[in-house]
Amino acid sequence: MSFSAIVVAAGSGTRAGAGTPKAWRRLGDRVIARWSVEALLAAGADQVVVAVAPDMIETARTALGGLPGVTLVEGGATRSSSVRAALAALSHGQRDQPVLVHDAARPFLTRDHVSQVLGALAEAEGAILALPQADTLKRPAGAVLETPSREGLWRAQTPQAFPRDTLEAAYAAWPGDQEPTDDAQVVTAAGGAVAICPGDPLLFKLTYPEDFAMAERLAAGARLVRTGQGFDAHRWGPGDAVWLCGVRIDHDQTLVGHSDADAGLHALTDALLGAIGAGDIGEHFPPTDPQWRGASSDQFLAHAAQLVRSRGGEIVNVDVTLICERPKIRPHRDAMRARLAEILGLREDRISVKATTTEGMGFTGRQEGLAAQAMATVETPR
């Protein structure tokens, strides 16, 4: 199902303690807000609008860099004003397309959470995740502690899903002198029926300093490590230079192929595609398509890297081995690593380029062609 999403990340988070607003503090290897944005993109969101405090826009732009389909908008002084601003910034989809509203402070969002609330929209004008109240409630009343009944009480979570036009109309009807605590309250006040889906204790909201210690422990196991491998080979032909790992090397021959025949980039592209189960380079860039004749292979690799990131993934490490008798690779290895780092947006210490020969054996040993193999490790949401 096609949908858009709003991530509310404009709050100051004062209860979490002094310092950077909580949505922009680091959790594991990235800021808290990025966890939710990546998860929504991985679940298929067409667009994710992130409401950010005006003084944190540049921080957010850096923290969310490289993610496709993300729009930043200045949030307001209240949660509802931030949601209104984000709704106005949505540009994708029909007016009745579902929109999910999610708190950035709930980082452990999954595809299943998204699927649950989207599926529930078939029977209602809204859907939320919620947990039944299990703890005994206490309310101070002077020197006495009252014990209200917990019967029938639920703890609402996000994401909360609504048809976009329903949510917009409900906010338009909401009294301007009142502040709702969530979007479901706004929709129910306008007469909409909101379904409750089973919540998840792991989808807790980071509110107090002690919450962050728990989140750090959970973050270590919240990502899936995946590995892909790739292999490519091209024969030698007449020419005066060869492209390998994005670097042009003067040589008395060239590699023959439909594109620029950069075997190193081709193998690495396949490794990245394999790590996320996205087929192979021939499916994305068919050799029968004339538009790729003589094409620079860096665009193939950039495409694969973008696919990884669009699914909420991060490239952890890549390793390329070039197999040939000539040309000598060592003099060009640093340039190759630098070029791969540029294409992939990685630090060079996450990139390895090596070379070996086959001691005169096989087609590479007879100098009939050159081969390359690559490995790529990525992390994706579970």
154/236 same-domain check? no
Residue 128 has pLDDT above 60, yes or no: yes
Domain residues for the domain of 42 are 4-219
295/346 same-domain check? yes
177/270 same-domain check? no
214/228 same-domain check? no
227/215 same-domain check? no
Query: Can you give the pLDDT at residue 314?
Result: 87
Q: Which residue, 252, 258, 249, 256, is CA-closest to 239?
A: 252
**C-alpha–C-alpha distance, residues 34 and 244, integer Å:** 34
100/214 same-domain check? yes
Q: Is the peptide bond before 159 cis (omega within 30 degrees of 0)?
A: yes
173/318 same-domain check? no
Query: Can you give the pLDDT at residue 66?
Result: 85
pLDDT, tens digit, for every residue of 218-277?
A: 876 667 889 999 999 999 999 999 999 999 999 999 999 989 999 999 999 999 999 999
Is residue 55 a contact partner of residue 77, using CB atoms and an 8 Å limit? no
171/259 same-domain check? no
**C-alpha–C-alpha distance, residues 355 and 323, integer Å:** 6
Query: Can you give the pLDDT at residue 11?
Result: 80
- What string of DSSP letters covers 225-287? EEEEEEEEEEEEEE-SEEEETTEEEE-SEEE--SS---HHHHHHHHHHHHHTT---HHHHS-T
Instruction: Choose the weakest-confidence range: 247-251, 256-260, 324-328, 359-363.
Output: 256-260
Specify the CATH number for the domain of residue 254: 3.30.1330.50
Choosing from 204, 219, 234, the residue where a domain stops is 219
If one counts the domains in the chain, the total is 2
pTM metric for this prediction: 0.64
Query: Can you give the pLDDT at residue 309?
Result: 87
pLDDT, tens digit, for every residue of 160-197?
A: 999 999 999 999 999 988 999 999 999 999 999 999 99
In percent, the amount of the chain with pLDDT more than 90 equals 75
**Using 50, 70 and 90 to split pLDDT, how confident is the model at 58?**
very high
22/157 same-domain check? yes
DSSP alpha helix (H) spans, the chain: 32-42, 57-63, 79-89, 111-120, 164-173, 183-189, 209-219, 263-275, 281-284, 298-310, 333-344, 362-365
Query: Can you give the pLDDT at residue 316?
Result: 93
17/147 same-domain check? yes
Query: Can you give the pLDDT at residue 214?
Result: 84
CA dihedral over 334, 336, 340, 345, signed as positive or negative: positive
Query: Can you give the pLDDT at residue 218?
Result: 80
| Summary mean pLDDT of the chain | 92
305 Cβ contact list (under 8 Å, min separation 6) = 272, 315, 343, 344, 345
Query: Can you give the pLDDT at residue 215?
Result: 86
Query: Can you give the pLDDT at residue 157?
Result: 97
250/170 same-domain check? no
Query: Can you give the pLDDT at residue 362?
Result: 96
- What token pair was written down for 287? 């050799």
Residue 313 has pLDDT above 90, yes or no: no
Cα 253–255–256 angle (5° rounding)? 120
**C-alpha–C-alpha distance, residues 282 and 288, integer Å:** 9
Choosing from 197, 219, 241, the residue where a domain stops is 219
- What token pair was written down for 269? 């592209």
- What token pair was written down for 57? 């826009």
233/213 same-domain check? no
Choosing from 219, 252, 280, the residue where a domain stops is 219
pLDDT higher at 312 or 165: 165
Residue 366 has pLDDT above 80, yes or no: yes
Query: Can you give the pLDDT at residue 16?
Result: 45
Residue 327 has pLDDT above 90, yes or no: yes
Q: Which residue, 304, 319, 309, 303, is CA-closest to 229?
A: 319
- The Cα diameter of the chain in Å comes to 93
Specify the CATH number for the domain of residue 124: 3.90.550.10
